Structure 1
Amino acid sequence: MNKYDTVEISVEDKVATITLNRPDVRNAFNETTIADLAMAFDEVGREEQIRAIVLAAKGPAFCAGADLNWMKKMAGYSREENEADALRLADMLCTIYFSPKPVVAKVQGDCYAGGMGLVAVCDIVVASEGMNFCLSEVKLGLIPATISPYVIKAMGEQASRRYFLTAERFDAREAKRLGLAHEVVPAEALDATVDGIVKALVNNSPNAVREAKKLVRDIARLPIDDMLLADTARRIAHIRASAEGREGVASFLQKRKPAWLS
């Protein structure tokens, strides 16, 4: 694996952990962090032996959003420079969202502004009790534009309407109620909970997990019509005929472990 300035990558038992490593600034991101995350997820996504990715962070906060020094620099940008800068953030979020590997967010501390975008692009979110979320952009005269497609998908339109406009903090329990977080656990149980989810992911067919992730992304909010019925029929026919599909059914009938667990 390549080495990066602001994130760390470790690999163990077919799982890659990408860790935000700027605890002194509450893991706020700047142009370097954005580039590092995009490249790290692209690199890990291409590794065939990796079955799942965990996005974690060092220190008491998960991510405070934008770095203050980066914001000062942006204040002097032209409109064109600001658009190019924002597009790099949008591209990074898109890279994580479209990763072929399942991504689990391990949220150990507060997560604000753009940091919520990082959480929302992950497939599964596990948060620690006592941490808070906040879409704080409007307090600074800004809007959460680049993260909005993912946050709205995760929280829904009505909840997004409230928290985009008020910049109120809400805790992990509320995040779970809204659909942003899947699990909320005591801090001491965070690692074990994430490990259990990752183990379940690793035990499944890599190809089926990849295609199931794509299925949700493609099918969500589509009308149930003849085109959708035909599309889903094609998808299951394709996966049944795939090597892992045949192996999975054969191993089940023969009461043995599938080849991907060997």
Structure 2
Amino acid sequence: MSWTEYAVMNRIALVTLNRPEKRNALNHIVVKELTELLTKAVEDQNVKVIILQANGPVFCAGADLEYLQQLQTNTYEENLEDSRQLAQLFELIYTMPKVVIARIQGHAIAGGCGLATVCDFSFSVPEARFGYTEVKIGFIPAIVSYFLANKIGDGKARELLLSGNLIPASQAQEYGLINFVTEPDVLDSEIMGLAEQLCQQNSAQSMAWTKKLLADIRQKTLADAMTYAAEANAHARASEDCQKGIAAFLDKKDLTW
């Protein structure tokens, strides 16, 4: 039995959590399946944009607590390997060359909120709640902390991670955790509209290089970052996509990528 689904339509991959009876909670099987499907989408030549979504009323309730309880009998090495799998999934979404859009139709909590954190764009219904509740059960929000602090700043990250409180979608948007709050009846049309826009109007190569630039540049000093950016700029200017795009602009021609 699979707890995830994969489909492609019009160059858009739909990667779906399908464990609604457990509120799409994460365990090693779900994490492994998500990693495999997202890797498949990266390698799929027919895919340009990925939508990460979930079936049921909850986007993702975080780690499966029954599974976490079982892990308490593991050795440190076994727990480290399990933790690395989730870290690899988050890093994959954050650094993969294709844009990932989160469709959040319900609560995104703990690890589920982590998934939303690492996506490039995120759309949420107003009723959804967001938060990292690990400290309330004696756990820690370790893996998401790096991505969250980079995304919304140290102060807001500390507020959310140390309090463990849930916040409404409107506040999550205000904090910069998510991008858009959208009514349920237009959620899919808004998401597909953005996905189609990215497919038709943007160079896949340019989006991939921009994601890599954003992931790499934070780890550098100002001087090293400027050197890296200048080199990336020079490489991009010489690319076929850049030459094609500039020529179309100057010739006032519509370009569909």
| Aligned equivalents of 2:175, 2:193: Cα separation in 1 | 23
In the TM superposition, residue 247 of structure 1 has moved relative to its aligned partner by 0.9
Asked whether the equivalents of residues 134 and 140 of structure 2 are also in contact (C-alpha less than 8 Å), the reply is yes
Which of the numbers 60, 77, 80 marks the counterpart of 2:57? 60
In the TM superposition, residue 223 of structure 1 has moved relative to its aligned partner by 4.6
**Matched ranges for 1:91-110 at <5 A:** 91-110=88-107
In the TM superposition, residue 199 of structure 1 has moved relative to its aligned partner by 1.7
1:190 alignment partner in structure 2: 187
Asked whether the equivalents of residues 133 and 171 of structure 1 are also in contact (C-alpha less than 8 Å), the reply is yes
| Aligned equivalents of 1:231, 1:79: Cα separation in 2 | 38
| Aligned equivalents of 1:228, 1:81: Cα separation in 2 | 37
1:172 alignment partner in structure 2: 169
**Matched ranges for 1:1-262 at <5 A:** 5-203=2-200, 204-220=202-218, 222-225=220-223, 227-258=224-255, 261=257
| Aligned equivalents of 1:183, 1:170: Cα separation in 2 | 15
- Per the normalisation by structure 2, the TM-score is 0.94
Asked whether the equivalents of residues 119 and 125 of structure 1 are also in contact (C-alpha less than 8 Å), the reply is yes
Asked whether the equivalents of residues 217 and 228 of structure 2 are also in contact (C-alpha less than 8 Å), the reply is no
| Aligned equivalents of 2:225, 2:27: Cα separation in 1 | 41
Tell me the alpha carbon deviations over residues 107-154 of structure 1, each in whole angstroms, 9 at most, x when there is no partner.
Answer: 110011111111111111111111101211111101011221112222
| Aligned equivalents of 1:250, 1:50: Cα separation in 2 | 25
In the TM superposition, residue 61 of structure 1 has moved relative to its aligned partner by 0.3
Tell me: CA distance 1:250–1:114, structure 2 relative to 1, closer, same or farther (3 Å). Answer: same
Task: Find the residue that maps to 1:62 and give its secondary structure.
Answer: coil
Asked whether the equivalents of residues 137 and 167 of structure 1 are also in contact (C-alpha less than 8 Å), the reply is yes
Tell me: CA distance 1:237–1:36, structure 2 relative to 1, closer, same or farther (3 Å). Answer: same
- Per the normalisation by structure 1, the TM-score is 0.93
Task: Find the residue that maps to 2:252 and give its secondary structure.
Answer: coil
Q: How many residues align?
A: 256
Stretches of structure 1 lacking an aligned partner (at least 5 in a row): none
| Aligned equivalents of 1:21, 1:169: Cα separation in 2 | 23
Task: Find the residue that maps to 1:117 and give its secondary structure.
Answer: helix
In the TM superposition, residue 97 of structure 1 has moved relative to its aligned partner by 1.4
Task: Find the residue that maps to 1:103 and give its secondary structure.
Answer: strand
| Aligned equivalents of 1:228, 1:94: Cα separation in 2 | 21
| Aligned equivalents of 1:57, 1:238: Cα separation in 2 | 38
The CA RMSD over aligned residues, in Å, is 1.6
One-letter amino acid matched to 1:53: I
Identity across the alignment (%): 34
Stretches of structure 2 lacking an aligned partner (at least 5 in a row): none
Task: Find the residue that maps to 1:11 and give its secondary structure.
Answer: strand
Asked whether the equivalents of residues 57 and 106 of structure 2 are also in contact (C-alpha less than 8 Å), the reply is yes
Asked whether the equivalents of residues 116 and 151 of structure 1 are also in contact (C-alpha less than 8 Å), the reply is no
| Aligned equivalents of 2:83, 2:203: Cα separation in 1 | 36
| Aligned equivalents of 1:134, 1:86: Cα separation in 2 | 20
| Aligned equivalents of 1:234, 1:77: Cα separation in 2 | 46
| Aligned equivalents of 2:91, 2:229: Cα separation in 1 | 24
